Amino acid sequence: MNFQNIKEQDQKYILHTYGRVDAALVKGKNARAWDADGKEYIDFTSGIGVNCLGYSDPQWAAAVAKQAGEIQHLCNYYYSPQNTALAQELCQAAGMAQAFFCNSGAEANECAVKIARKYGESQGKWKIVTLQNSFHGRTLTTLAATGQEVFHKDFLPLTDGFLYADAGDLDGIRSLLEDAVCAVLIETVQGEGGVVPMDPSFVGDLRRLCDEKDVLLMLDEVQTGVGRTGHFYSYQGMGIQPDVVTSAKALAGGLPIGACLVGEKLRNILKPGQQGSTFGGNPVACAGAREVVRRVSDPAFLQEVAEKGQYFRQRLEALPQVELVRGQGLMLGVKLKAGDAHDILVQCAEQGLLVLTAKDLVRFLPPLTITREEIDAGLDIFTHVLREVNEK
Ligand SMILES: *Cc1c(COP(=O)(O)O)cnc(C)c1O
């Protein structure tokens, strides 16, 4: 089927919840992808930070195919060796105690909210502080956690009990904590909010404040986690340990998975029957995730991510059309002096480069395995597009 047929079918049969770009990707290799008409792209999106080992990594694909050929799913009433092995490997990589597996970032955050409510229950605390400009998912509870009104509109009422603070405003958070708060949930780099990194000293101070007030510190590492920032989880570069970590996107390298990790203090906080998911911990997804954790938690791999991130950033900063670059590792956003970010995204796709936006920034989440040659090829196209925009 050619692109026009695909587009017509999509228009007719898919609910239009996405503003789609005119490209139907059918094949990929590391940071290169090809569309239904055979056109080649450099991919700086990795499917919104999902394909951390690039497209169709041979070892990852073999691990997944092997598991699919052995046993593809089992009910959570039985033990699953892939599930338990992943839990051990992930907890070790994260410095956490136990994992609950689900299928997405929103579900991982839902689980974190349930854990927080259960933790606070005996003290009559049930509210959760999140940050303005945050993004935590699309369910009614994670939308409530999301501190951006644009996502709430048309879907009220949302789950009760979320309070919003400004990033960096420790005094503001301190006063909110007086109001029956059991947990604080933040992203260390706000992704959808425009690639906004938190000051590590703010995160450290927040850790101490939460300890002082017996409030859980929960980190949404759905976008920042699994190597993206040059650390396995971003807090590992901040010298703190959270009480709860949520993870998804890149965790299984392109298969649906979510995880909610808890620290020692919360061991066995949820009891049998209090949380569950039919597909959660699915062995095929776990086989993919084990390959990801094995490769990405290697310090040499993480060092490479940090170095490639530096290189990418320096090349962006050298462009005269760039006003500023924000982010960490291979999670980068650029604000441009001229041109609308979404128009630039569309023009990049026309020229064979896939990028994302976040608010008014052009956002880059390339596969962590991207080569310098692929970075150069993509940034050459980006430079060309920016020149054309500035000539208009
Ligand atoms: C993408 C994202 C989510 C939601 O994840 P889904 O898998 O789409 O439910 C939650 N939090 C953050 C920080 C994200 O980037």
Atom of ligand 1 nearest to the CA of 106: 9
Integer Rg of the chain from CA: 21
* Span between the terminal Cα atoms of the chain, in Å: 35
| Average pLDDT, integer, range 68-73 | 98
Q: What angle do CA 384, 389, 392 make, to 5 degrees?
A: 130
- Separation of alpha carbons 294 and 61, rounded Å: 14
pTM attached to this predicted model? 0.98
Q: Is the pLDDT of residue 243 over 80?
A: yes
Backbone phi, psi, residue 349, to 5°: -60, -40
Q: Give residue 1's pLDDT band: very low, low, confident or very high (50, 70, 90).
A: confident
Q: Is the pLDDT of residue 182 over 90?
A: yes
pLDDT of 227 reads: 98
- Separation of alpha carbons 335 and 131, rounded Å: 22
- Separation of alpha carbons 24 and 11, rounded Å: 13
> Tokens 């692929």 — which residue?
374
| Residue 138 CA to ligand 1 centre (angstroms) | 8
Q: What is the pLDDT of residues 320-360, one digit of tens each?
A: 999 999 999 999 999 999 999 999 999 999 999 999 999 99
Q: What is the pLDDT of residues 212-226, one digit of tens each?
A: 999 999 999 999 999
| Residue 258 CA to ligand 1 centre (angstroms) | 10
With the most atoms of ligand 1 within 8 angstroms of its CB, the residue from 103, 135, 235, 251 to mutate is: 135
- Separation of alpha carbons 47 and 252, rounded Å: 13
pLDDT of 77 reads: 96
- Separation of alpha carbons 253 and 56, rounded Å: 9
Pick from 370, 377, 335: nearest CA to 352: 377
With the most atoms of ligand 1 within 8 angstroms of its CB, the residue from 103, 107, 223 to mutate is: 223
pLDDT of 57 reads: 98
Q: What is the 3-state secondary structure (H, E, C) of the chain?
A: CCHHHHHHHHHHHCCCCCCCCCCCEEEEEECEEEECCCCEEEECCHHHHCCCCCECCHHHHHHHHHHHHHCCCCCCCCCCHHHHHHHHHHHHHHCCCEEEEECCHHHHHHHHHHHHHHHHHCCCCCEEEEEECCCCCCCHHHHHHCECHHHHCCCCCCCCCEEEECCCCHHHHHHHCCCCEEEEEECCEECCCCCEECCHHHHHHHHHHHHHHCCEEEEECCCCCCCCCCCCCHHHHCCCCCCEEEECHHHHCCCCCEEEEECHHHCCCCCCCCCCCCCCCCHHHHHHHHHHHHHHCCHHHHHHHHHHHHHHHHHHHCCCCEEEEEEECCEEEEEECCCCHHHHHHHHHHHCEECEEECCEEEECCCCCCCHHHHHHHHHHHHHHHHHHHHC
Q: What is the pLDDT of residues 105-127, one digit of tens each?
A: 999 999 999 999 999 999 999 99
Q: Is the pLDDT of residue 392 over 80?
A: no
Q: Ligand 1: list residues with CB < 6 Å.
A: 104-106, 109, 135-137, 187, 191-192, 220, 222-223, 248-249
Atom of ligand 1 nearest to the CA of 256: 7
